Structure 1
Amino acid sequence: MSLEPVRRPSLSAEVIGRLRHRIASGDWPVGARIPTESELMEQLQVARGTLREAVRALAHAGLLDVRQGDGTYVRATSELSGAVKRLYGDSGQEHLLEVRQALDVQAARLAAARADDAALDALADILARRAAAWDARDFETWVAADWDFHAGVADAAGNPLLSELYRNLAAPLRASMAAFWDSPGFAGAAPAGHEDLLAALRAHDPSKAASQAGANITETLAWHTDSPA
């Protein structure tokens, strides 16, 4: 059986590609309203039907949110992060923490073997910022530093796919880190999974690093389970 001839990509596919690029590049950040339909038609030199087909496709993929009478907004920077947001909406905090544990443990294991001194020093600086923010009860700085540390460990793992996956989980993961800020007994400056993890990374001990990363989430899961609803 002969193969069908390769056909040129459709115009709507080209428009989808251009819109996706503007989203992924950050030109249109998450939460921003994209240009109006008439503006995009003029910029891209395409018909209304072609543009609407492209917008529908990106909305179905989770990148755009079409709000009737208001406009179209960026919902996510990639199909993966869009899918994660949809899934997270139906998942509980415990499920998310279990996923975090799997990712954090593997990232720590790999980072212990691969992280260089520059990456480790950068992680130390982040932890200093995190500790200072906790002492000052600076919520925004603490959440940002906590996220930067865990994302930094994922980057130090030297696996681009793992790092990309972790960063596409940014919104729900940051939410899980912030969820317990005001809860009585929550220790947001505890060294387990942070300073202790960094020590294991500096020792280039994959087993201990994995154990520390796992202990951090295990402790949070236990605390979450024991906390009153």
Structure 2
Amino acid sequence: MPLATTRRAGLVDQVIEQVRAAVAAGEWPVGTRIPPEGELAVTLGVGRNTVREAVRALAHAGLLEVRQGDGTFVRATSEISGAIRRLAGPELREVLQVRRLLEAEGARLAATHRTAEDLAELDEAMAACEQAEQAADLAAFVRADLAFHQLVLRCAHNGVLAELYRGLTEVVHASVATTVAGGRCESHTGLLAAIRAGEAAAAAAEAEDFLDSLLREHATAGPRGAGATTP
């Protein structure tokens, strides 16, 4: 068992990282069942609720699969491969279409309503994306890119819109991972510049152009696999 007892704050994140590392190292191969919550809790020196929350997060990311009454199984060797297995073809196109609607409006409102504090957080989020890309760490880039998009929606200061987007976290994560795995580590410097300048139309256009380019790449999938054109 390659796990060590956790000792500091952020216990859930530490458990996530240790489980992720064990899977990546092949300690728990794809298709195998990981130890039950109680055993993991004892090994890691944390409460069962902490383990349960970490497992839930990794299941949402596509790394694990929880089978009621049977246990938790390794579904993929990484969150990116798990996301790709979960979302492809027509489903990916549909998610991109919904993202286009929400993110374009979110960007437009963010350019109008963002605060100085919002801009500082956006700068930090952008820096995290750039660092992950420079390190060629695709998993870290996916997490950073998702965080950036979520932050843009929060900067719109529309609670309903932000909540709608938050509810799509799992499929948005999967769509980002799928496009990144295909070689699309897109920079959002233009979007951030438009939000900073308060240019609502330009910010919306930046969000639309990026997602339109992704939709064009997947246009051949179309609804239920039929040919289709980009909206």
Q: TM-score range by the shorter chain?
A: 0.5 to 0.7
- 1:134-153 correspondence runs (5 A): 134-153=133-152
What is the aligned partner in structure 1 of residue 159 from structure 2?
160
- Aligned-partner Cα distance in 1 for 2:177–2:122: 19
Q: Secondary structure at the match of 1:29?
A: helix
What is the aligned partner in structure 1 of residue 216 from structure 2?
222
Corresponding letter in the other structure for 2:196: R
What is the aligned partner in structure 2 of residue 127 from structure 1?
126
Q: Tell me if 1:114 matches 2:113.
A: yes
- Aligned-partner Cα distance in 2 for 1:99–1:70: 33
The 1:170/1:125 distance shift into structure 2, 3 A limit, reads same
Contact 2:142–2:180 (CA under 8 A) maintained in structure 1: no
Q: CA deviation at 1:69?
A: 4.9
- Aligned-partner Cα distance in 2 for 1:26–1:215: 41
Q: Secondary structure at the match of 1:92?
A: helix
What is the aligned partner in structure 1 of residue 189 from structure 2?
195
Q: CA deviation at 1:224?
A: 2.9
Corresponding letter in the other structure for 1:203: A
Q: Which runs of 4+ in 1 moved over 2 A?
A: 25-32, 68-71, 88-91, 180-183, 223-227
Q: Where in structure 1 are there 5+ consecutive unaligned residues?
A: 1-24, 33-64, 72-87
- Aligned-partner Cα distance in 2 for 1:99–1:180: 16
TM-score, normalised via structure 1 length = 0.58
- Aligned-partner Cα distance in 2 for 1:212–1:130: 17
Q: CA deviation at 1:200?
A: 0.5
Q: Where in structure 2 are there 5+ consecutive unaligned residues?
A: 1-48, 57-65, 73-86, 226-231
Q: CA deviation at 1:217?
A: 0.4
Q: Secondary structure at the match of 2:181?
A: coil
- Aligned-partner Cα distance in 2 for 1:166–1:154: 7
- 1:24-173 correspondence runs (5 A): 29=53, 31-32=55-56, 67-70=68-71, 92-173=91-172
Q: How many residues align?
A: 151
Q: Secondary structure at the match of 1:112?
A: helix
- Aligned-partner Cα distance in 2 for 1:69–1:131: 41
C-alpha deviations, 1:119-166, integer Å up to 9, x for none? 112111111111121121101210111001100000000011111111
C-alpha deviations, 1:18-71, integer Å up to 9, x for none? xxxxxxx99953745xxxxxxxxxxxxxxxxxxxxxxxxxxxxxxxx7723559
Q: CA deviation at 1:89?
A: 9.7
- Cα RMSD for the two superposed structures: 2.9
C-alpha deviations, 1:104-129, integer Å up to 9, x for none? 01101111110001111211111111
- Aligned-partner Cα distance in 2 for 1:226–1:199: 32
